[in-house]
Amino acid sequence: MRGVGAACPFCAIEPGRVFLDEPLVRGLWDAFPVSPGHALLVTRRHVASWFDATPAEQAALLDAISAARAEIEARHQPEGYNVGFNAGEVAGQTVFHLHMHVIPRYAGDNPEPRGGIRAVIPGQGPYG
């Protein structure tokens, strides 16, 4: 499996980045945040994508979103969030260990935020 063990940045996490430590999922601060408070929710088991995870792992990731939000809001005052994952290289996945992004959003961080994730494909966002 691609990137297992020492080669995988989510299999060996520095303890100072971890804010949530659950049986199936860890929460950690992104090493390259796109906004203040950018968090990652990572499966403990090395599995490539959402579609390879067990139903229990998927449920644990979804449950952890609220915990990540609470940790973010204890430190920052975001006004919105983008939450999601990239599944596959053509979708932008670069680390092939399942992880979900919880990205706080702030007024003015994007001059035209309408369309949200639709903007990942050129010409698809914003829309009217």
Q: Can you give the pTM of this predicted structure?
A: 0.90
pLDDT at 5 over 90: no
Report the catalytic residues.
99
Q: Residue 128's pLDDT band (boundaries 50, 70, 90)?
A: low
Q: What is the pLDDT of residue 3?
A: 62
When the candidates are 1.10.1530.10, 3.30.565.10, 3.30.428.10, 3.40.350.10, the CATH number that belongs to 5-107+116-120 is 3.30.428.10
**Phi-psi domain of 88 (left: phi exceeds 0; alpha: psi -120 through 50; beta: other):** left
Q: Which long-range contacts (CB under 8 A, 24 or more apart) does 19-23 make?
A: 19/68, 19/71, 20/64, 20/67, 20/68, 20/71, 22/60, 22/64, 23/60
> Looking at the chain, how many residues does it have?
128
Average pLDDT, integer, range 20-40: 97
pLDDT at 94 over 70: yes
Average pLDDT, integer, range 76-97: 96
pLDDT at 113 over 90: no
